[in-house]
Structure 1
Amino acid sequence: MTTFSIDSATSQQLRDYASNDLGMDVPPNIKDDTLRQKIRDTLGEVQKVAEPKKTKANPEQSIWVRISNSGKDSSPVSLTHNGVQAVLLRNTWVEVPYKYFEVLRLAVTYDIDQSTGEASGRPTFPYQWSLEKPTEDFQKMSFA
């Protein structure tokens, strides 16, 4: 009997081991990864699961946000996440933790059309955002 690693075994080694040593029925069209998993299941091995990759938008990341003046209202915007409040000035680029950006992104005001009864959502606070500190040219951009 030859010793080998299941992860580095060839297709023929996997088939021989599964059918001869473990007594498994191996279909001719089975993929190697599927056969490896069936062998592990038969042996009762627990396969380690890879750590999830961190995405760009994780709770620890900061994001740059600029909230526009909405007509007559130029007062700062108060955002609360899990009982902790952040106050953001309008028309100014500010760096905030991503969790506050999520609160801003999810702040939606719904308007109901009286004739049809349909609701349509719009951002409560119109904003711009950037993952990196905005450049001077980017900062001069106005809201559409």
Structure 2
Amino acid sequence: MANQVDPAVFRQLLSEYNEQFMMEGTRGWKPDKGQYMCVLREVRRAVFADKATNQRVMAITPIVEIVDGPLAGKAFEINMFTPKNFSFFGPFVKVVGGRDFTSLMDACDMLDAAVADKRLLLVEVTETASKKNPGQLYKNADVLQVLNVAPAK
């Protein structure tokens, strides 16, 4: 049986776990196939240990929020970009930033500016059949275009 805890102590714990709660709330869920108007809500940055090599690996995860329709206010991940899939990160930042980026730092700075600008994005969710698990579909999200802000400099 769990012990009762002082409400102030519990509130402190809630505060400490809030970031994890927010991350779990957007992990794994994507809306049904279709196009959605979204804002870039945040860009999560993380470092973790690679299971095979135990080396540090960085991850960049853009989170968008749907701004209209019945799903307005719901957020989801575009993708988790790591060094293993940076070939997808380049095209993503090119669409959001309006140009090619040759520096990872410049690309991340542009994403921060896009969050601050409340940049409006047209996002398309598609489904892809799993090669390993027949019958299972994976949802993918891609930014098709920026709808309201001039390209970042």
Pairwise same-fold verdict (TM > 0.5): no
> Which structure: greater strand fraction?
2
**TM-score normalised over the length of structure 2:** 0.24
Q: Name the structure, 1 or 2, with higher relative contact order (CA <8 Å, separation 6+).
A: 2
**TM-score normalised over the length of structure 1:** 0.25
- Structure whose CA Rg is larger: 1
